[in-house]
Amino acid sequence: TQSTRPQRLLGAVQKNATRGDPRSVVRAIDHFCRHKEWAMNVGDEKGCILDSVVSEVNPAAVLELGTYCGYSTVRIASLLPPHAKLITLEFNPDFAAIARQVIAWAGLEEKVQLVEGASGDWIPKMKEQFGVKTFDLVFLDHWKDRYLPDTKLMEECGLLRKGSVLLADNVICPGTPDYLEYVRSSPRYTSQYFKSHLEYTKVEDGLEKSVFLG
């Protein structure tokens, strides 16, 4: 039977990356997506911006919305201080199954909790289920029409504190116009746009970094 793109991406990791070496996993995925098959990972160009924001925030608690194959999960988790935790939500069980294996290949299982299901269902349960107080960093990379409702939900559930950083992928392509309008016009956020390109292409895209002001 035919393999799926995520399965072929995992195969490229297992063939070309070194177990326990997150940077070699990132490199293997980027090579596969640039030279074999495009896939919707944040990619190497926007990934460097992601890395710099993670390093600057030095978060103890991270939430990622949209795991896909675990590329950004591995990028973020490889930069976390000891005892820091990353919770990543993925709706699609097939993507989640691949992501678990990519995260394991990188040797980052201890730092990552992958949760399968809808963000709208899980966000209200974060505190009771995972003992989370607030998130220091949230990486939004799931369905683009969920960025705004899920941000409002995180506010309502008290998951953001003064200084929490939201970093959103794809604010230009595919685009998240309602989310951008909200974080750029709301007095409760200070927002900054990092111009870049859609992963592995010359098409414009970018990341929006928004600091919650409480």
Ligand X SMILES: Cn1cnc(CNC(=O)c2cc(-c3ccc(F)cc3)cc(O)c2O)c1
Binding site for ligand X (CB under 6 A): 40, 66, 68, 92, 141-143, 169-170, 173-174, 198-199
44 binds Mg ion (CB under 5 A): no
210 binds Mg ion (CB under 5 A): no
Q: Which residues contact 17 (CB under 8 A, 6 or more apart)?
A: 24, 25, 27, 28, 105, 106
Q: Which of 64, 136, 141, 208 is catalytic?
A: 141
In the list 141, 150, 205, 208, the residue contacting Mg ion (rule: CB under 5 A) is 141
Measured from the CB atom, the residue of 12 and 167 that comes closer to Mg ion is: 167
User: Active site includes 58?
Assistant: no
Give dist(CA 157, CA 178) in Å, integer.
21
Please tell me whether residue 46 adopts helix, strand or coil conformation. Answer: helix
CB 124, min distance to Mg ion, A: 24
Measured from the CB atom, the residue of 21 and 45 that comes closer to ligand X is: 45
Q: Considering Cα of 51, then 54, then 55, then 56, what sign does the dihedral take?
A: positive
Measured from the CB atom, the residue of 111 and 142 that comes closer to ligand X is: 142
* Residues listed for the chain: 214
Residue 173 touches which of Mg ion, ligand X, none (CB < 5 to 8 A by kind)?
Answer: ligand X
Query: 72, 161 in Cβ contact below 8 A?
Result: no
Give dist(CA 157, CA 169) in Å, integer.
23
Residue 174 touches which of ligand X, Mg ion, none (CB < 5 to 8 A by kind)?
Answer: ligand X
User: Active site includes 199?
Assistant: yes
Give dist(CA 187, CA 177) in Å, integer.
18
Q: Which of 30, 44, 64, 199 is catalytic?
A: 199
Measured from the CB atom, the residue of 94 and 109 that comes closer to ligand X is: 94
Please report the beta strands in 47-134, taking only residues with DSSP state E, as ranges in sequence order.
61-65, 85-90, 112-116
* Number of DSSP helices (H) and strands (E) in the chain, helices first: 9, 7
Sketch the per residue contact string, 163 through 202, with Mg ion: x for CB under 5 A, - otherwise. ------xx--------------------------------
Residues that bind Mg ion (CB under 5 A): 141, 169-170
Give the active site residues: 141, 144, 169-170, 199
